[in-house]
């Protein structure tokens, strides 16, 4: 705070803080409070609103535990989002390391641009592209049949495989850039010294690179998991009845069932799940909010 006042002056600092506070209250705090209020009330016709039946209850939350179908979808969403996070981490770690420590400085802008340019296209269009690629007679199936990987095309859409592949691609940048930002500050001399002392690549990454990049890995995992768990477009386009996502159930409660109270309860449960995952990552990687903010 003192640094802000010294840099911008008391008047401009006050204006900045007021704008930030207004943004947080109007777009974060109030919507969440309204969602909690909705989730704790039963769905009633307007004529009964505020009457004796309009009382706070946990019935909307209990619905998830009594509805076995919705509970199984919720648990499937949890493990599938975790799987998306792990696969994205495995794919992005070598990419981030190459960009941060191996790629020549003169080629780095071109490589970063090659990663970013595809994401200038709308998420729906990129998801539709994977719909074409993963189709029964799509290019991926035709290529794998031609290579002899399998004898006939396989159905990759309408199940969890297509959804997970699509999510890994859609959210790849949210994993790459936090890790790249953390690895970039690693002194290359530490890696060279470890190599001169006889350490293999696995040990170098386990003892030097990964500990240094922990904040970036934690941020990437948090962002990827939250985006995957809260995704609607990807499972709706690439999935099917057997691969429904919990966000699709929430959408149905709001816009098809017309039960905003039940939908708010399910949405709040999903929010609590994401907050719990954040705390788990912070504890697992032993990082604090200050480390993540870097």
Does residue 23 lie within any of the structural domains?
Answer: no
Paired tokens of 31: 């919507």
DSSP sequence for 162-189:
HHHHHHHHHTSHHHHHHHHHHHHTS-HH
Does residue 264 lie within any of the structural domains?
Answer: yes
Does residue 217 lie within any of the structural domains?
Answer: yes
DSSP 8-state code for residue 51:
S
Instruction: Give the distance, in angstroms, between the CA of residue 61 and the centroid of all CA atoms in the same chain.
Output: 24
Predicted TM-score (pTM) of the model is 0.87
Task: Find the CATH number of the domain harbouring 170.
Answer: 1.10.3720.10
CA dist 265 → 21, 167, 284 (Å)? 26, 25, 28
- The pLDDT assigned to 123 comes to 82
Does residue 80 lie within any of the structural domains?
Answer: yes
Report d(CA 264, CA 25) in Å as an integer. Answer: 19
Most distant CA atoms of the chain, gap in Å:
78
Does residue 36 lie within any of the structural domains?
Answer: no
Does residue 56 lie within any of the structural domains?
Answer: no
- The pLDDT assigned to 148 comes to 84
Does residue 6 lie within any of the structural domains?
Answer: no
Number of domains in the chain: 1
Residues of the domain holding 112: 61-293
Does residue 141 lie within any of the structural domains?
Answer: yes
User: Are 254 and 36 in contact, with CB atoms under 8 Å apart?
Assistant: no
- The pLDDT assigned to 122 comes to 82
Paired tokens of 232: 């609607």
User: Are 266 and 250 in contact, with CB atoms under 8 Å apart?
Assistant: yes
Q: What is the pLDDT along the chain (294 residues), one digit of tens a residue?
A: 676 667 767 778 788 888 989 999 988 889 889 889 989 988 887 777 777 777 888 889 999 999 999 999 999 999 999 999 999 999 999 999 999 988 888 888 898 898 888 888 888 888 888 888 888 888 888 888 888 888 888 888 878 888 999 999 999 999 999 999 999 988 888 888 888 888 888 888 888 998 999 999 999 999 999 999 999 888 988 887 778 899 999 999 988 888 889 999 999 999 999 889 888 888 888 877 776 666
Burial tier of 36 (Cβ tally within 10 Å: 0-12, 13-18, 19+): middle
Query: Which residue do the tokens 């981490």 mark?
Result: 89
């Amino acid at each position: 705070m003192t640094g802000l006042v010294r840099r911008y002056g008391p008047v401009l600092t006050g204006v900045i803080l007021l704008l930030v506070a207004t943004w947080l209250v109007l777009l974060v705090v109030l919507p969440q409070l309204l969602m909690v209020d909705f989730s704790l009330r039963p769905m009633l016709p307007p004529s009964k609103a505020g009457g004796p039946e309009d009382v706070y209850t946990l019935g909307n939350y209990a619905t998830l535990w009594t509805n076995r179908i919705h509970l199984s979808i919720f648990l499937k969403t949890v493990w599938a989002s975790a799987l998306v996070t792990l696969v994205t981490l495995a794919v992005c770690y070598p990419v981030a390391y190459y960009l941060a420590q191996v790629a020549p400085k003169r080629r780095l802008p071109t490589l970063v641009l090659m990663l970013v340019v595809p994401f200038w296209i709308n998420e729906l269009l990129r998801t539709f592209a994977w719909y074409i690629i993963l189709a029964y007679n799509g290019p991926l199936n035709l290529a794998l049949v031609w290579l002899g990987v399998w004898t006939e095309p396989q159905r990759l859409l309408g199940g969890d495989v297509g959804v997970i592949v699509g999510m890994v691609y859609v959210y790849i940048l949210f994993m790459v850039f936090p890790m790249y930002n953390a690895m970039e500050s690693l002194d290359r001399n530490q890696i060279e010294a470890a190599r001169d002392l006889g350490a293999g690549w696995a040990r170098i990454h386990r003892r030097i690179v990964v500990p240094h990049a922990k904040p970036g890995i934690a941020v990437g995992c948090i962002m990827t998991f939250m985006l995957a768990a809260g995704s609607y477009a990807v499972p709706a386009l690439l999935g099917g009845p057997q691969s429904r996502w919990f966000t699709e159930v929430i959408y149905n409660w709001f816009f098809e069932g017309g039960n905003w109270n039940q939908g708010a309860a399910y949405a709040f449960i999903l929010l609590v799940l994401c907050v719990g995952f954040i705390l788990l990552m912070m504890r697992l990687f032993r990082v604090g909010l200050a480390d993540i903010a870097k």
